[in-house]
Each structure stands twice: as C-alpha cells, then as structure tokens.
Amino acid sequence: MSDLLRRLRGRGWRMTSQRRVVAEVLDGDHVHLTADEVHALAAERLPEISRATVYNALGELVALGEVAEVTTDGRAKRYDPNAHRSHQHLVCSGCGLVRDVHPSGDPLADLPESERFGFTLSGAEVTYRGLCPSCGEPARDA
Amino acid sequence: MSDLLRRLRGRGWRMTSQRRVVAEVLDGDHVHLTADEVHALAAERLPEISRATVYNALGELVALGEVAEVTTDGRAKRYDPNAHRSHQHLVCSGCGLVRDVHPSGDPLADLPESERFGFTLSGAEVTYRGLCPSCGEPARDA
DNA sequence: TCTTGACTTGGACTGTGTCCATCGTAGGAT
DNA sequence: ATCCTACGATGGACACAGTCCAAGTCAAGA
C-alpha cells in the first residue's frame, strides 16, 4: 500500500474500492491529471466507477491537503498529488504539458506592504509559461 | 474617444457599435470583468448585442494584446484591460475580488537553468491568494 | 452477523464557452 | 451620395467541465 493510502486511512478516510483506485491513480511524481483522465484510468481497474465519485474523491483529497488543484488555463483543473513539497508549475503554451519546478526565492516576500491592500495573504502561485523542447522546435513540413 | 478605441482603430480594427461598447465597458483601471459581466454592461447600452459577439470581441482584444485574460480559479475567465503595464494579481479566496499588484523582483530570474527542462520561457504569472479586508473579518452572527 | 450512516451511482442540470449558417453593415470604390 | 462586398453580428445548437440529488450499496464498528 502506498504512503498516500496509509496516510488517508490513518486520518479516518473511509476506504472504498473506488477511493482506493482514485488514490492509486494519483500516486507518483509529476502527475497532473484532469478529473476526466483520473476517471478514465480508474475505470480501467473499476469499470463501473462514476464521474461523480471521482469528483467527490478528488474534492476530498484537496480538502485534506493531500492533493493540489492546478488551474493552468481555462480548461479542466488538474490534480497534483505532490502537495507536500512546495513547488510551482511550468506549463507549455503549445501542448499543455505541466512540469513541477522549484524556483529560488519567495514570491510572498516580493509583495510590499503598500501593495497588499489590507489583504491577509495565504500564499502565492507562480505559473511559468513557455514552449517545451518538442513544441519549441520550428515546425517542419513533411 | 478613449485611447483604447483610438489605438484599435489605428490598428485597422473594423469599428462597429458592438465592438465600441465592449471596448468602452473594459476601459479603466482595476477592471476585471467576466465575459458575462461585459455582456451585461454592454447590453445596457446596446440591448441586442449577443453573447457570441462579446466573446468574439474579447478574443480579438486578447489576440491584439490590448486585454489580458486572467484565470483566477475554475470559474469564468476575467478580462483585464491593463495589459500594457506588467502586473500580477491578488485574489480574495472569499469573494473572488481581484486587485492588480506590482511585486518587486522578477519571478523569471528565480527559475534556475536546471529547473527549465529545456523550455523556452515566455513569462511568469504570479497569483497572490488571501482574504480581503471584508472577508478577513471574523464572521459575526446577528 | 447486524446495523447504520457514509459512500456510490447515473442522470439531470448549470455555467462557461464555441460553432455555424444566415443576415446586416462599415467603409472603400465610384 | 450611393453601391458593393467582405467582414462582423446574430442566436440557437452544441460541447465540455463540473455539481446536485434521490435511491441503492457497503465499510466498519457493535
């Protein structure tokens, strides 16, 4: 059993076969699946699992802080199980590929008091945009 | 006529009454409207304007670089006419309020070569999250 | 094993955005 | 000033992501 499943069970998360496969599908590094992708992968092991259940499970994992929700653009949210190590995202403007990155420096420290407008800050997300090695090569006709 | 309208006309943007009201609605600082809000405001002046036209006009303004698209969460995109001055966004986790902010430092400089994975970087967006003064006050029962 | 409340299901529903065939019109040509 | 025509507007159907709900199912404690 993975660490994730062990942690969830330890926190009193009622374990069902559906929740198990969702958690298993999300296990690993550099995983950034959409809800539909999670559903498709889960359905390979448990064909009857419903979309609603996947959405429920993902929502709970996010609420528990085990998985982070990443909105890279106007498309579907992606779910990132690497929520315990603080990191940011590098997104390919061409194909949508997402990589975890670890910038130096703390963006929160870069926001002076005069620019906080009385807000109580809780965090900052940085999204780097660019072209991945495949998309960056000049397109070539056949 | 506003600077925005003048610039657009100068760039050969065919001016119609619909495009005019969309551009006028978006004029100003600290404007972060959703497409539906733009449509509603535009419809006050031009009741027959259709949603498709608003979406078309917004898409063109974004393509022209006159307006920036901001995706703060899984909800509707917001349109920010303040695209010429580089800035980042501060979003209230409670009510969704968006403010423009100007952090010091350059997030791009914080991403070491070893963390770029061969990408050609084009920019970085920083989204600060927190509670605005209204939402930050402890809720009080009546 | 029994019980029960939490979980799952699937289908309807909502919000956001896109597409497309048809109609209308801005702006150049005359 | 008027005409032409290509570009823009229209609105309704469609697509996608996500939520909600009533009814059925099951995990886990007693």
Provide the strand spans (E) within chain B: 33-34, 68-70, 78-80, 88-92, 98-101, 120-131
Q: Are residues B37 and B64 in the same domain?
A: yes
Residue A142: inside a domain:
no
Would you give the DSSP letter of residue B76? -
- What is the domain count for chain B? 2
Question: In whole angstroms, what is the distance from residue A75 CA to residue A97 CA?
Answer: 13
- Could you list the residue range(s) of the whole structural domain that residue A8 is in? 3-80
| Residues facing B124 on adjacent strands | A128
- Could A115 and B103 be called an inter-chain contact, meaning their C-beta atoms sit closer than 8 Å? yes
Q: Are B41 and B23 in contact (CB under 8 A)?
A: no
A75-85, pLDDT tens digit by residue? 899 999 988 88
pLDDT of chain B, 142 residues: tens digit per residue: 578 888 898 888 999 999 999 999 998 878 899 999 999 999 999 999 999 999 999 999 999 999 999 987 778 999 999 888 889 999 888 777 889 999 988 889 999 999 999 999 988 999 999 988 888 765 544 3
Check if residue B77 sits with its Cβ under 7 angstroms from strand C: yes
Q: Are B84 and A113 in contact (CB under 8 A)?
A: no
Q: Are A23 and A41 in contact (CB under 8 A)?
A: no
Residue B18: inside a domain:
yes
Question: In whole angstroms, what is the distance from residue B134 CA to residue A75 CA?
Answer: 30
Q: Are residues B24 and B59 in the same domain?
A: yes
Q: Which nucleotide is nearest to A55 (CA to C1')?
A: D18
Q: Which of A120, A115, A122 is nearest to B138 (CA)?
A: A120
Residue A140: inside a domain:
no
Helices marked H in B46-80: 51-63
Quickly count: other Cβ atoms within 10 Å of residue B89's Cβ: 19
- Could A108 and B121 be called an inter-chain contact, meaning their C-beta atoms sit closer than 8 Å? no
Residue A124: inside a domain:
yes
Could you tell me the CATH number of the domain that includes residue B92? 3.30.1490.190
Which residue shows structure tokens 């495009």? B19
CA B35 / C1′ C15 distance in Å: 12
Q: Are residues A99 and A76 in the same domain?
A: no
CA distance B65 to chain A (A): 16
Residue A30: inside a domain:
yes
Residue A141: inside a domain:
no
Q: Are residues A94 and A39 in the same domain?
A: no
Q: Are residues B41 and B71 in the same domain?
A: yes
Could you tell me the CATH number of the domain that includes residue B19? 1.10.10.10
Q: Are residues B46 and B107 in the same domain?
A: no
A33-51, pLDDT tens digit by residue? 999 999 999 999 999 999 9
Residue A106: inside a domain:
yes
Contacts 24+ apart (CB under 8 A), A32-39: A32/A70, A32/A78, A32/A79, A32/A80, A32/A89, A32/A98, A33/A78, A33/A79, A34/A75, A34/A76, A34/A77, A34/A78, A34/A79, A35/A76, A35/A77, A35/A79, A36/A76, A38/A79
Q: Are B97 and B79 in contact (CB under 8 A)?
A: no
Question: In whole angstroms, what is the distance from residue B113 CA to residue B3 CA?
Answer: 40
A interface residues, B as partner, C-beta within 8 Å: 69, 71, 73-74, 77, 90, 92-93, 99, 101-105, 107-108, 110-112, 115-133, 136
Q: Are residues B32 and B15 in the same domain?
A: yes
Q: Are residues A10 and A76 in the same domain?
A: yes
Which residue shows structure tokens 């590094």? A29
